[in-house]
Amino acid sequence: MAHRPRRSLLQLLRTWRLQLLALLVALAVLVPLGSRAAPSSPWRVGTDPTFPPFEFRNPQTDSLSGFDIELMQAIGEVAGHPITWVPLPFDGLIPALQARSVDAAISAMTITAERARAIEFSRPYFEAGQAIVVRENGPAFDSLEALKDRRIAVQIGTTGAIEAARVPGARVSSFDSTPLALQELANGNADAVVSDVPAILYAIDQAKLTGLRISGEHLSTEYYGIALPTNAPITAAVNEALTTLITNGRYAELYRHWFAAEPPALPTRAPALEGADSPLAGLDLQLLAGNLLKGAAITLMLTALSFSFGLLGGTALAVLLQAPWRGVHLLCRLYIDFFRGTPMLVQLFLIYFGLPALLQSLEVPFSINRLAAAVTALSLNVAAYLAETLRSGIESIDRGQWEAADALGLSPIARMRFVIAPQALRRVLPPLANEFITLIKDTSLAAVIGFDELFRQGQLMVATTYRAFEIYIAVALVYLLMTTTASLLFKRLEARWRLPA
Ligand code: ARG
């Protein structure tokens, strides 16, 4: 009898649970359906907020600001949809639209026939063109032809990058944002930047980017459009709202506010799209393999150089940490803590963009080449990690061995060289392999300073072919091939060095 109430409670709980589960499932299915159908569902809009005056983060208010941002907000208001902003890198916008992770993107994106094969555009909302920027005290180039054989910095995936790639003999380095490309020019590592006129004018006039000037203007006429997934359900609504804003004067108001000028008349369809309705071309596998191979070679070179220097530095640190001097000890610890405790990405930016900018502001002419900067940052890092690995290896050798070496009358150097180091090295081989494999992957960070290593080669191909999945899988496989080969080689070495049982 005493069991009965308890059992029914359990049963109650069970049915409760079932009901709750049913409710949750129903909610999960119905809520998204309902919100998609509701008129006030937000639109997720992607943007690369590094392109003032179109889209940027206002440092005072810490919110998104710019002509594009206000225009899209107004479009959302007219259409009755709040905007949820999704910040993305520029070269990630088209893949995000293809994946439908965003409903639209506004990013001063030029309407081109190639892009229109992968996505769809709204009617044009802005007229722009390309310009060439140079250093004030550097040579002038007033046409793209004049840039032959020169170093050009661009933002990856932009029309400026496409124009630069057509210049014969030019060495093009690509950066994640236009400000970084301009910094590269200001630091003296490039001869020119190719980018959009209004953004350049703004950077020079408003953002007070000193030492740069425009030397060739309006090399082309381009129209910006709001980017949408192909056959997007919201295209018509976006176009209608845009047309409303153009006719009711709100668009002109925004234009005057941001550009202090009267807006030009806009076509309803971008001329670039005329006669361009062929589908997306297939992926050129031979080209892909060739480019990835080029990238892999650079990745390997970066790894080999940085690991060698890092091993040297790490050994020096580990040995110094054994020394009885307190000051040296402290310095080593500071070094290790700094390089292990700050992101490599930050160190890379600091060395490549920060140091030259600082020294130049102090009137010290200094610029660092890409390879030197990447190898320095990577080696400094590897050294910090390896110092600890090697130290633990050294300290793991039994005290008795040290004493025995001393008893044999070996000097501290001979003791390290003949007794401690060989044994320690054998023990630290597995963590050494770990560090090497990590380094292979970390070299991909060098892409941010314009290195065309393996990952950046993939990114560059995605930026022109819009085949994100296929290309990044291929990139991943090449990395995998390199890391597994490395791990096999280390295993071999381990077997070779193993003491006979
Ligand atoms: N108009 C150029 C293009 O479509 C550059 C746009 C860059 N926009 C940006 N938010 N970074 O390629």
Cα separation, 293 vs 461, in Å, equals: 13
Instruction: Note whether 111 and 248 are same-domain residues.
Output: yes
Ligand 1 and 91: CB distance under 6 A:
no
Tell me, yes or no, whether 7 lies in a domain. no
CA 457 to ligand 1 center in whole angstroms = 20
**Number of residues that this document lists for the chain:** 501
Nearest residue to 176 via CA among 331, 24, 49, 46: 49
Question: Does 24 have pLDDT greater than 70?
Answer: no
Instruction: Note whether 372 and 452 are same-domain residues.
Output: yes
Instruction: Note whether 324 and 382 are same-domain residues.
Output: yes
Tell me, yes or no, whether 18 lies in a domain. no
Question: Does 26 have pLDDT greater than 90?
Answer: no
Question: Does 277 have pLDDT greater than 70?
Answer: no
Instruction: Note whether 300 and 262 are same-domain residues.
Output: no
Question: Does 259 have pLDDT greater than 50?
Answer: yes
The rounded mean pLDDT for the chain is 90
Tell me, yes or no, whether 451 lies in a domain. yes
Q: In sequence order, what are the residues at sequence separation of 6 or more whose Cβ sits closer than 8 angstroms to the Cβ of residue 474?
A: 288, 292, 458
Tell me, yes or no, whether 407 lies in a domain. yes
Ligand 1 and 108: CB distance under 6 A:
yes
pLDDT digits (tens, 9 = 90+) for 160-218: 999 999 999 999 999 999 999 999 999 889 999 999 999 999 988 876 677 899 998 87
pLDDT digits (tens, 9 = 90+) for 331-389: 999 999 999 999 999 999 999 999 988 888 888 888 788 999 999 999 999 999 999 99
pLDDT digits (tens, 9 = 90+) for 448-491: 998 999 999 999 999 988 899 999 999 999 999 999 999 999 99
With tokens 């085949």, the residue in question is: 467
Structure tokens at 453: 């290593």
Instruction: Note whether 230 and 366 are same-domain residues.
Output: no
Instruction: Note whether 143 and 212 are same-domain residues.
Output: yes
Cα separation, 48 vs 196, in Å, equals: 15
Rounded to 5 degrees, φ, ψ at 106 are: -130, 120
Total H helices, total E strands in the chain: 19, 15
The string of DSSP letters for 79-136 reads HT--EEEEE--HHHHHHHHHTTSSSEE-SS-B--TTHHHHSEE-S--EEE-EEEEEET
Instruction: Note whether 257 and 301 are same-domain residues.
Output: no
Cα separation, 394 vs 411, in Å, equals: 16
Tell me, yes or no, whether 414 lies in a domain. yes
Question: Does 17 have pLDDT greater than 70?
Answer: no
Answer with the one of 242, 273, 304 that is the final residue of a domain. Answer: 273
Tell me, yes or no, whether 13 lies in a domain. no
Mean pLDDT over 144-153 rounds to 96
Ligand 1 and 159: CB distance under 6 A:
yes
Tell me, yes or no, whether 23 lies in a domain. no
Domain count, the chain: 3
Per-residue model confidence (pLDDT) at position 366? 81
Ligand 1 atom index nearest CA of 222: 1
User: How are strands ordered across the β-sheet holding 130-135?
Assistant: 171-175, 151-155, 192-196, 130-135, 212-216
Question: Does 35 have pLDDT greater than 60?
Answer: no
CATH code, 258: 3.40.190.10
Rounded to 5 degrees, φ, ψ at 262 are: -80, 140
Instruction: Note whether 214 and 75 are same-domain residues.
Output: no
Please state the pTM of the whole predicted model: 0.81
Ligand 1 and 122: CB distance under 6 A:
no
Tell me, yes or no, whether 398 lies in a domain. yes
Helical packing angle, 468-497 and 421-442, nearest 10° = 170
CA 319 to ligand 1 center in whole angstroms = 51
Angle 407-409-415 (CA atoms, 0-180°, nearest 5)?
90
Instruction: Note whether 320 and 406 are same-domain residues.
Output: yes
Instruction: Note whether 436 and 412 are same-domain residues.
Output: yes
pLDDT digits (tens, 9 = 90+) for 380-426: 999 999 999 999 999 999 999 999 999 999 998 899 889 998 999 99
CATH code, 356: 1.10.3720.10
Instruction: Note whether 298 and 173 are same-domain residues.
Output: no
Answer with the one of 220, 237, 257 that is the final residue of a domain. Answer: 220
Domain that holds residue 103: 43-126+224-273
Cα separation, 366 vs 351, in Å, equals: 12
CA 408 to ligand 1 center in whole angstroms = 71
Q: Would you give the DSSP letter of residue 48? A: -
Ligand 1 and 389: CB distance under 6 A:
no
Ligand 1 and 51: CB distance under 6 A:
yes
pLDDT digits (tens, 9 = 90+) for 57-66: 988 888 999 9
Instruction: Note whether 205 and 328 are same-domain residues.
Output: no
Rounded to 5 degrees, φ, ψ at 452 are: -90, 60
